Chains A and B, each alone.
Chain A
Amino acid sequence: MKGLKTIAVVLALAAVAGCAGTAERDPRDPLEPLNRAVYRFNEGLDEAVARPVATAYRDAVPEPLRTYARNFFGNIADVFIGVNNMLQGKPVDGLQDWARFVFNSFFGVFGINDVASDMGFEKHNEDFGQTLGRWGVGDGAYLVLPLLGPSTLRDGAGTAVDIYVDPLSDIISSVPLRNSAIALRMVGTRADLLDAGRLLEEAALDRYVFLRDAYLQRRRNLIYDGSPPREKREDEGEAPVNAPADQDVKGTDRK
């Protein structure tokens, strides 16, 4: 519930800050100053707590055990992924998610083995933000949420629903155990992103911008399940694939 409250406060702040915008700002990110502040806060916290803990987890826990943990939480998540696929009008995908859950829960020993994937029932990536997107809700302003990181107005609302219906809270009634499970899931998620974090550091000139653009591209791709409609961007011009002239690889076979 606390998470929800934080999100509500951020959204309210965001709405206020949105009134003051300058012309130079990226139209997708009218709240850039606020977002950058939250981003810096998140990075500081990540550097001080999340990354060291995740690194220790990765170093201390052998890969098979980490996979069991990842699969266990992934299996529980498949239930709501199926719900989202149903809500998006993809009953076949939804049924597959639920079949995965049933299969992995039984034959995968409470989901710690992803036997369904080995059988060709691939895992899907869905959440309520994607469902809203599928229903036609636009991104809205880009948002960096405290602790949770990159999001948008739409995805923030989606995340609030995701947290609200998180099955982990229903399954485990003991509060300390539930909190430990949620913590383990977070650490595991961060550990899986350690390499990506290093890549970001290496690739980006401005990490904030790089991460934002990657997030927006990624979400668009996810909403359309990997095949978004082609989008004419005004800044793309005519794709100058063959334009460069100072190297030996220029194309000469244009008809």
Chain B
Amino acid sequence: MRKIAQALLLYPAFVAGVFAFVLDAANAQTAQDTSAPDVLVKTVTLEVVDLIAKDKEIQSGNRAKLIELIQAKVLPHFNFPAMTALAMGQSWNKATPDQKKRLTEEFRTLLVRTYASALAAYSDQKLDFRPLRAKPTDTDVTVNVRVMQAGAQPVPIDYNMEKTSSGWKVYDVMVGGVSLVANYRTEFNNAVRDAGIEGLIKNLQTKNRPAVAPAAPAGEKK
């Protein structure tokens, strides 16, 4: 019985080994311009995954430290005002500059928290960075990454990115075809309809408050 169990455990490793060299050949990377959006996504993703793997405190569930890491490494590559504007839809134009600023801050906190949970759930799945399908002159591209899972369809993660004066910035993330920004639109519009923009801000604050770690004051770290 033991032997059978052992054989079963070793079997996938054996099969994977046989095919590893094929994949290696396919994955051979040539040196590329790091200012390209797909290279940026790959570099940042691998760096963050690597930092988390090395960090014992994050491994044992230190959320504040994970959030700190996200703020330092990931946040600079996101365009949160654009994300908030897209999520707000037409209500965005009804907000004052001050409200826009507070909305952006609260939405950012919410997204960082969610992102932290998503990262905490990540456990060594293989990542497949797809080649970018865009012209070099494009200023609005989608970078595709796929999370490979055993026995299930890979989960595509698409980063919609725009070229800005300060480099490529993500303005929407789609997981399995679900646009994060579009998914908030109905919620935000409902909240604005029911209680106005201030109501939505209060709503977001209530949502964010219990989990705001001391290490994560909103609106700094650029």
Measured CB to CB, the residues of A under 8 A from B are 24, 26, 64, 67-68, 70-71, 74, 107, 109, 112-115, 117-120, 122-125, 192, 195, 198-199, 202-206, 209-210, 213-214, 217-218, 220-222, 226, 228, 235-237, 239-253
Contact = CB atoms under 8 A, between A and B. Distances in A.
Contacts of A118: 12, 15-16, 19
A220 B177 contact: yes
Contact of B150 (A24, A70, A220): A70
Contacts of A199: 114, 117-118, 121
Interface in B100-137: 100-101, 104, 110, 113-114, 117-118, 121
Contacts of A124: 153
Given A122-B154, A241-B162, A246-B81, A113 B12 contact: yes
A252 B19 CA distance: 47
Nearest to A71: B151
Contacts of A206: 187, 190
Nearest to A64: B9
Contact of B82 (A74, A107, A243, A248): A243
**For chain B, which range describes its interface: under 10, 10 to 19, 20 to 34, or 35 or more residues?**
35 or more
A209 B189 CA distance: 11
A218 B165 contact: no
A222 B174 CA distance: 13
Most A C-beta atoms less than 10 A away, residue of B9, B12, B191: B12
Contacts of A107: 15
A43 B11 CA distance: 39
Given A202-B114, A213-B187, 20 more contacts: A24-B193, A67-B150, A71-B150, A117-B151, A120-B19, A123-B153, A198-B121, A199-B118, A204-B187, A205-B188, A205-B203, A214-B178, A221-B176, A222-B177, A236-B86, A239-B86, A241-B171, A249-B166, A251-B163, A253-B164
A243 B92 contact: yes
Contacts of B56: none
Q: Secondary structure at chain A's binding surface: helix, strand, loop or mixed?
A: loop
Contacts of B34: none
Given A67-B151, A249-B164, A244 B85 contact: yes
A246 B80 contact: no
A80 to B, nearest CB: 15
A53 B182 CA distance: 33
Interface in B145-168: 148, 150-154, 156, 162-166
B171 A214 contact: no
A248 B187 contact: no
A78 to B, nearest CB: 10
Contacts of A114: 150-151
Contacts of B156: 226
24 contacts: A67-B150, A68-B8, A70-B150, A70-B152, A71-B151, A114-B150, A119-B19, A202-B113, A202-B211, A210-B187, A236-B86, A236-B89, A241-B162, A243-B92, A244-B84, A246-B101, A246-B104, A247-B79, A249-B79, A249-B164, A249-B166, A250-B165, A251-B165, A253-B165
B45 interface: no
A203 B110 contact: yes
A205 B187 contact: yes
Contact of B100 (A71, A221, A246, A251): A246
Interface string B1-18: 000000011011001100
B195 to A, nearest CB: 12
Nearest to B204: A205
A218 B176 contact: yes
A253 B169 CA distance: 13
B100 A26 contact: no
Contacts of A239: 86
B59 interface: no
